[in-house]
Amino acid sequence: MIKDITLGQYIPGDSFVHKLDPRIKILISLIFIIDLFIINNFIGYIFIILFTATAIIVSKVPLKFIYKGLKPIFVLIIITAILNIFMTSGGRIIYQGKFITIYEEGLRLAIFMVIRLVFLIIGTSLLTLTTSPIELTDGIEKLLNPLRRIGVPAHELAMMMTIALRFIPTLMDETDKIMKAQMARGADFESGNIIQRAKSLIPLLVPLFISSFRRADELAMAMEARCYRGGEGRTRMKQLKLTSRDLIASLVVLVLIILSVWSRYL
């Protein structure tokens, strides 16, 4: 399960999505997330499904990576659906028992929340899978540059966010290694109920924190050895430039927004 987390991983490629400007991809991802919560009917989610499927096909990202990204949240999806079904009232009654009553509104809301969670993970995964950490850093920094006028450290924030994303797969690998080492010494992480399994993970925290602090210290020393001094005076080998691809992608997203708003007020 630990290795199934794809957030922060990057798959090199030369697809249409890979070649998009990172600023455009970040903005598209933000608009896509907002759009997921604007839509309130099934017609709107048909447009979301078509857009996401097209993005996956054009990006040439293997479906196994999309599936791996969804596996860790299956339990969260199920819990979210159950809570919405049994704790939301409204509309006609679909099922009524001694202790359970299922309303139409609860079932509808549960389906919407499941769709939103699934496509939220797919959308964010596509961003990191098709954008290298360096491009992601440059894109975030460029988008935050206007905030420098009010004292916001754009470069430092972009660097921290990118390092955090980049080290998610590394920490997952480290966690997997620690789990295997402890299982070889007799530790049991799979038996028992949810509470017992959660308690069994506590011994992982100490070595994982020690490893994380060690990696952070090594990274800081490596950056200092290379005379890293932040964003002031830095130059880039590759300058970000908007192309016709970015215009096409922006127009497609604009059409998605128009269709989503139209479906909401249909």
* CA distance to 41, 83, 98, 197, per residue, from 104 (Å): 14, 14, 18, 35
Domain count, the chain: 1
Identify the H or E element spanning 96: strand 93-96
Token output for 229: 């001094």
Query: Which residue range(s) make up the domain with 45?
Result: 2-264
Give helix then strand counts, H and E, for the chain: 10, 2
From first to last of its 266 residues, the chain has per-residue pLDDT tens of 445 566 667 788 888 988 898 889 999 999 999 988 888 888 888 999 999 999 999 988 888 888 877 877 788 888 888 888 887 777 777 777 777 777 778 888 888 888 888 898 888 888 888 888 778 878 887 888 887 788 777 777 777 777 777 777 777 778 778 878 877 777 776 676 667 666 777 777 788 888 888 888 888 888 888 777 766 666 666 777 888 989 999 999 999 889 888 888 76
3-state secondary structure 173-197: HHHHHHHHHHHHCCCCCCCCCHHHH
Token output for 146: 């206007």
**Cα 198 from Cα 99, distance rounded (Å):** 29
8 A C-beta contact, residue 31 and residue 257: yes
The pTM for the full model equals 0.75
